[in-house]
Amino acid sequence: MLVRLLSVTLFIACLPVEALLQEKGTYTAHTAYKLAVNKITTQRAPLLDGQLISFEEIIEAQSGDSQSVTKTVHLDLAGIEYVENISDISTDDNEAGLNWQSNILVDPSRYPENPQLIAETEHTWVFSIPTQINADTSDVEQEVDNAEVNNVLLSSLVSELTISKSSPHFVSQKIYATHPFKPDNLVKVNEFMVKIDFVQAWQGGPWVTESIYRVLKGNYAFFVSVEEFSVTRYQNFEVINKSAEQ
């Protein structure tokens, strides 16, 4: 009996922390969050050694038209992401006027250490995280106070991250306006929403953006209605060259 107990104890001691927590059902929201971030960090590491990945980007417009291009993504030693179009087709910039961080590869450094838990469902936890959007007024003819516009954006937009309770991982991120707002005297935004879905590129591979859903409705100069909708999907991730260690 003693030998059996010792064997069971040793077996449990050798299990990964995640396996132990899952077996006991003792995940807490913040434990799950940290495990999800750790997964991203660990499975992103091979790209720091020179791994190059190809993928397909498909942009679907409100008209129903779609555009597909093949691109590559890699990281430099500092973890900065570089995306290159290797198709003959170029894609349109659907987010003109905004700078916001929407990397192909999920970057753990962009997420806070201890986010605020704001909601819970049967299968997920939802955290409040900082909004990472700012205005790009370089192409605007009239003089614009960037700082003022950015303050309006930050006070009007909310960013939420959803984590799965089962084998904790990033599910999605949603950025949306809680109410209509005016980033400038001539511009009124009635609806703004960006939803980013995440997925693992392949078993054991890096976590990537699977799709980005965008909605923007508003008015410009009181007379011009603006209504933009687009969906960008990323698929067929494949390693082109192995990392230096492989």
Helix-then-strand count for the chain, H and E: 4, 13
Crossing angle of helices 17-24 and 29-44, in 10° steps, is 150
pLDDT at 222: 67
pLDDT at 71: 95
Separation between Cα atoms, residue 189 and residue 165, nearest integer Å? 35
**DSSP per position, 61-111:** ETTS-EEEEEEEEEE-TT--EEEEE-SS-----TTTTEEE---SB--GGGS
For residue 47, give the DSSP letter.
G
Q: Determine the 3-state secondary structure of 126 from DSSP.
A: strand
Q: What is the pairing mode between strands 170-177 and 187-200?
A: antiparallel
Q: Which residue has the tokens 């980013």?
A: 196
Q: Is 22 exposed, middle or buried (0-12, 13-18, 19+ CB in 10 A)?
A: middle
Per the structure block, which two tokens stand in for 103?
């990397």
Q: Which residue has the tokens 């707002």?
A: 181
The verdict on pTM exceeding 0.75 is: yes
Q: What is the pLDDT along the chain (246 residues), one digit of tens a residue?
A: 433 433 333 332 343 444 434 443 446 999 999 999 999 999 999 998 889 999 999 999 877 788 999 999 999 989 999 999 987 766 554 444 555 557 899 999 999 999 999 999 999 999 999 987 765 555 444 555 667 777 888 888 999 999 999 899 999 999 999 999 888 777 888 999 999 999 999 999 999 999 999 998 988 776 788 888 889 999 999 999 865 444
pLDDT at 96: 45
Per the structure block, which two tokens stand in for 43?
């499975």
